[in-house]
Amino acid sequence: MTKAHELFKHGQSIWYDNIRRSFIESGDLASMIEQGIRGVTSNPAIFEKAIGQSDDYDVQLQELVSQEKTIDEIYDALVIQDIQAAADVLRPLYDESNGGDGYISLEVSPTLARDTEGTIADARRYFAAVGRPNVMIKIPATPEGIPAIKQAISEGININVTLMFSLADYDAVAGAYIEGLQALVANGGDPGKVASVASFFVSRVDGKVDAALEAVGNTELQGKIGIANARLAYERFEETFSGDTWDALAEKGATVQRPLWASTGVKNPIYPDTLYVDALIGAHTVNTVPPATLDALMKEATTDSATVGNALEDAHAQVAKLKDLGIDLDKITADLQDEGVDKFAVAFESLMNSIKDKRERLLEGSENAS
């Protein structure tokens, strides 16, 4: 039994935050599932590395170029094939868990983060194109993304909400999920056939807050606010998914929108590699980990008990202390979301440029050959 299996005993699923075609085709994904990995997430930065910095996709890319596909069409074909292949490997896990796990995530275009209608259209298009029940479409928790999340859920589209940093983000996202389910039920849909996770980012919060704490000469709270913030989000989760409103949906088969801990790789080398694993273990949660964090988790994670509900009074006090120090956590988390949108857009642009460059080289090669 691995550490990932032990975490699942506490109700937490470990997902892998990485994808690449060779990882799927080599059998590595199937092997990781045997070791306790229960899902996969992707984002534009991950695909930028996979497609732009490897030759895994060159054969298919050459075929697509010969078919005179556009850059956008090439991107869709490459990415959708990977998502479908990963979904197929994960499908037995999805089936045996009755839709609890076994998901692969695909993000809408980062260029649509401020476009509600465009996001809805992209979510519909990708969900239909992948054609697998165990795909989640990723939508950012921007103000424009919130109504898109509600609409997608109301249409039975599985959603992984990304770029959540604040309790205000959490409240808006959980509300959109519940309202989307209510609309789905009102239209005769089955809420038991749609799933969602709410991806709450952790280490990036510490990155910003630690710098602000250093500026005011406080070291006591460094490395603690990311975890405190996540624990308060989990507290909100437990409050939100209880009571009459939720019970009415649960009776019809709806499942909770699980908190997913994202950005759990340690950015500060002085912190333990499993800092954001050990402190956030709990029922109905997911932790999606990049490769280095997964290696550390399997070797070093402390999996004796659930921890995400621990020291809530301390978490409230730590966040309150920031205000006393003149540090505006709300502004920090809002800035982090804006930066996240920009970073994904830059990675996406870099990926599209890589595809463009490869396409042009292949076209030149075919012209020279003729």
List 3, 138, 224, 358, catalytic entry: 138
Whether the Cβ atoms of residue 158 and residue 103 lie closer than 8 Å to each other:
yes
Please tell me the distance from the alpha carbon of residue 82 to that of residue 73, in angstroms, as a whole number: 14
Residue 113 sits at φ, ψ, to 5 deg, of: -60, -25
Neighbours of 2 (CB within 10 A): 17
Q: Which residues of 328-358 are buried (b: 16+ CB within 10 A; e: fewer)?
A: ebeebbeebbeebbebbbebbebbbebbeeb
Q: How far is CA 325 from the centre of its chain?
A: 32
Whether the Cβ atoms of residue 203 and residue 263 lie closer than 8 Å to each other:
yes
CA-closest candidate to residue 195, choices 143, 248, 133:
133
- E runs forming strands in the chain: 12-17, 37-41, 103-107, 135-140, 159-164, 196-201, 258-262, 285-289
Please tell me the distance from the alpha carbon of residue 21 to that of residue 53, in angstroms, as a whole number: 12
Residue 138 is a catalytic residue: yes
Whether the Cβ atoms of residue 281 and residue 306 lie closer than 8 Å to each other:
yes
Catalogue the active-site residues. 138
